[in-house]
Amino acid sequence: MMNDPFEARRLAMVNDQLRRRGIHDERVLIAMEEVKRHLFLPVGMEEEAYLDHPVPIGHGQTISQPYIVALMTELLQLEATDSVLEIGSGSGYQAAIIAKISDQVISLERIPEVATRAEENLRRAQIEGVRIIVADGTVGYPESSPYDAILVTAGAPSVPSPLLSQLADGGRLVAPIGDADIQHLVRVVRHGEEFVFESFEPVRFVPLIGQFGWQDQ
């Protein structure tokens, strides 16, 4: 008996939107197959869960399109033992995908109502290993640093310097960097005190608001 009416759509999403567009990390693909994305959307919008576009979740925030979630996760090159910091909890979906791969996930969210909803979504989806904290994500969370991986899920004018300092040696940071209209995905790898930057495809995210991001208007 099928108790998940969206299972076929989710499998089609993984095959059509992810595999065919070049997502190769099997751990990412399996996580995207397992996490029920429709549980992270506002009530009444579940039918849009597996379509290839972002969906608004309220408070000016969105849940990113599946391909971008998968791409950013793949760029992090996660391992099971990694300690991961996420900047911007949003719906909780990205954290859920990471938690399927890595055991320790801390997610920072500046909007209390968004953080509460993300926690509810994660519980409903039976995702464990994610700790959500209401805080300015641009300053990071030094109490639990260093992190093997840091993911920024909002567009920033530059990589916030506190996040670089909280990255472990050999750690990877992925963030959308650019102006308010268009950004490029950037991966930063730390080698001692050297940071190596790589740029990937153009994206468009909501702005990263905070002390080391954009100022709240």
Cβ atoms of residues 121 and 40 within 8 Å = yes
**Coil, helix or strand at residue 147:** strand
Per annotation, catalytic residue among 64, 89, 91, 102: 64
**Coil, helix or strand at residue 6:** coil
Please give the Cα distance from 133 to 112 (Å, whole number). Answer: 9
Where residue 43 falls (left for φ over 0; alpha for ψ -120 to 50; beta otherwise) is: beta
Cβ atoms of residues 145 and 126 within 8 Å = no
Please give the Cα distance from 13 to 16 (Å, whole number). Answer: 5
Answer whether the bond into residue 146 is a cis peptide, omega within 30°: yes
89 is catalytic: no
| Catalytic center residues | 64
